[in-house]
Chains A and B, each alone.
Chain A
Amino acid sequence: MTPLPMTVIGGYLGAGKTTLINRILSGDHGLRILVLVNDFGAINIDADLLVSAKEDTIELANGCVCCTMGADLFLAVGDVLDRRPRPDHLIIEASGIADPARIANVAQAEPDLDYAGIVTVVDGQQVQALCADPLIAPQVLGQIACGDIIAVSKCDLSPALRQTLSGLNTTAVLTRTQDLNIAQVLIAPQGPIDLPQTPHPAYTKWSFTGPDPVDRTALQAALRARPEGLFRVKGQVRGPDGAGLLVQVAGRDIDIGDIEQPAQSQLVGIGLATKLSAKACDLWWTKSALRKQ
């Protein structure tokens, strides 16, 4: 089974983690994201998006699920891995005091998980004071230092703030939370990207449905040569001679499994809008997988 990509969203109390999580949960991204949160306190889902809400689980119409982690985060992660079907992506909300790196480390250790990065949310108005508070500074600084992305909430990314934060973490991507889109959250560790400073979600969704069979070798080659920026592809592909192929692509991981032959190939993909258009995806698929000009 393909490892489940896991992202940790960290940051001190009141930094704005839940605002980001609310956006991810209700986003129109076509991915079944499971979010483990400490509590449902500030989770805010539109009623028309709600499928069911239980003591510890909220299911959404877009396929996302939000669960509380209970007393033990790791047991909760174990339960997520035991879920069938598994979600496409796991996001963990670290507690306001937790070291996100210690949590994210499980994605490096556990063969069924894939490290997909740490997003540290920082309250731009509070961060200077917190970093000067001897009671709590070491833990706040640790949260900032381990982020692949540092998302600043509640104010603009002023040059002074930018300088402070880059001093604490030289490699992270710095952005305002409101400019951060889901695609960036999901591919956090793949190096600095040219982040678009637009308030709108800057990602492209692509889908394909068709009856033509594709053989495994061609599929593998096509997926390897997929357009830059198309970071997730998943679905079922109709193979030749009664074969069916299950596709899971996340970053560099390309996984092709065997399933019963579907009547149609059905694929969905997602990527950064600055690097990808649906048209380019169509062209790529038609040429390299279907081998049509």
Chain B
Amino acid sequence: MGKTLLFHAKSVVTMDRNQPRASHVAVRDGRVLAVGGPNCADPWGGAEAHVDLSDTVLMPGFVEGHAHMMAGAMWDYAYCGYHDRIDPQGQMHNGMTQIDQVIARLSEFEATLAPEQPLIGWGFDPIFLTSERLSRHHLDQVSTTRPIVIIFSNFHLLCGNSAALALAGYDAATNVEGVTKGSDGQPTGELQEMAAMFPVMRRTGIDFRDLTQTDAALRSYGEVCKRAGVTTVTDLFATLGDEDVARLAAATARSDFPVRLVPALGAMGGTPAEIAAQAQAMRDRSTEKLRLGAVKLMTDGSIQGWTARVRAPGYVGGQPNGLWNTAPDQIFQLCEEMQRQGLQMHIHVNGDEAAEVTLDALEAAARKHPWPGARHVLQHCQMMDAALFRRAAELGVACNIFANHLWYFGDQHTALTIGPDRAQSMDAVRDCLDAGVITAIHSDAPVTPMGPLFTAWCAVNRRTMSGQTLGPAQCISVEEALYAITQGAAQTLKMDAEIGSIQTGKRADFVLLGADPTAVNPDALKDIAVLGTVLGGEVHRL
């Protein structure tokens, strides 16, 4: 038996209705021993050591139910995005709203590189910079000799400078789909889709496996989580070979790794039975800080890329309906096999047609192989309406909603993708809660920055970048939002018995905040400082 530690905070927001507020938490062997006042440890023989966190407000550690490991290691590259963003070391990178600012940032970054190293940038999104298109001429201002590659935030496009294009032999004579040409007949530098991007990426050493399947990537991800106050994080769509699992088990076990990791195996590259067998085999290798056994399914694409599968009347611009990444038949087969084998699924659904087909598949699977506690999770759920949420509730299916989209892409959805009326009811957290669905909200980092308080702010205020409130009827209360980023998200991971609230017997996973989120103006939720985390009783101060 370990020591009894007594944590003392300015206030403890427990998220446990039996005792909503406290000042002290006693912890032993990584678990909460007692919650209450200064004497709460007394029935257990008293505290043997004190941990003074009296400058902070304690909450249950946040749970990020939908993010990707890459969110850490992307920072090895130069950030070129439109929005302010904080790197894993805590440094703020101001958003760049003009191409000139991007060029200036790249020039600074270029000066730090070794002579032979290509310059790679990430996070650039032309949807926000409408005045002119980023071209190789801009990037040639940074260097004409060092290859420069800027990966756009959707990962479907990049822009290279002349030196990068030359590596792939792209010139006026090139006639390849995706190699964009200007009016002068020369490549502009913009390369669309992987086929055209591949020759440049290959020659500049960009390998996305380095951003996920290395210890450095994992450490960096841990730092991102710590700064966001997240103590349990997913990696939804992981490659998990034998070696990957061994590496993750070793690296997450280190006491300085500040987060519990829940990777979901990407359902690709195998028959449903093979994928299920792989997930089954790794489930037993779970540890306190590494939870294995869930599976992630892709279905459609993204709404802002017009690749999500949407129901009639479709996209407002008349764009053709989106693309399946997994055919409906396959979705049915996968759902049936995972359900049969008792494997929990996280299923990507952006468009409402994708949500509908997936619910059909889950219903069919549930009829064949009843499993009351399956708790499969629909992920993103961006266009689900009340009727779809009711079906989810009936089937015991949880929903993790992409609330950050409201701020980042809400204006674009209104103007360009699905029109003002349906944009109003996007990411309908109110409907989801009212239907009685297990509800979580997420960032999908690195697509948007990880920050559960910001995500909660989005769901509460539904503010877009232009300042409008997008669909006030779908706003939720601060308490509901705090539930969604703790208890709710923990339920989607089937970990709610051990995390998600500060309660006797649960794991001592806390976030240290600068203010009580229930006491500030709801508009200020996103501005509350994260001062660190506690994982299993271990303090990780920023």
Contacts and interface: CB of A to CB of B under 8 A. Distances in A.
Interface of A: 12-13, 38-41, 55, 68-75, 77-78, 81, 96-97, 102-106, 108-111, 135-136, 138-139
Closest 8 CB pairs of A and B: A105-B195, A106-B195, A41-B271, A39-B270, A109-B176, A97-B327, A110-B199, A108-B176
B42 interface: no
A138 B300 CA distance: 14
Contacts of B207: 75, 78
B328 A135 contact: yes
14 contacts: A13-B329, A38-B270, A41-B274, A71-B266, A71-B269, A78-B207, A96-B327, A96-B330, A105-B176, A109-B168, A111-B199, A135-B309, A135-B328, A139-B324
B195 A78 contact: no
Contacts of A97: 323-327, 330
Contacts of B353: 135
B269 A105 contact: no
Interface residues of B, number: 42
A74 B206 CA distance: 12
B209 A75 contact: yes
Interface in B307-341: 309, 320-321, 323-330
Given A72-B209, A109-B199, 6 more contacts: A39-B274, A71-B269, A74-B194, A109-B176, A109-B195, A135-B324
Nearest to B242: A55
A163 B209 CA distance: 46
Interface in B20-60: none
Interface in B177-208: 177-179, 193-196, 198-199, 201-202, 207-208
A209 to B, nearest CB: 37
B320 A41 contact: no
A103 B323 contact: no
Contact of B193 (A105, A108, A135, A136): A105
A111 B326 contact: no
Interface string B328-371: 11100000000000000000000001000100000000000000
B103 interface: no
B522 interface: no
A71 B168 contact: no
B357 to A, nearest CB: 7
B268 interface: yes
Nearest to A105: B195
Residue among A68, A75, A81, A103 having the largest count of chain B Cβ atoms under 10 Å: A75
A77 B330 contact: no
B212 to A, nearest CB: 10
B241 interface: yes
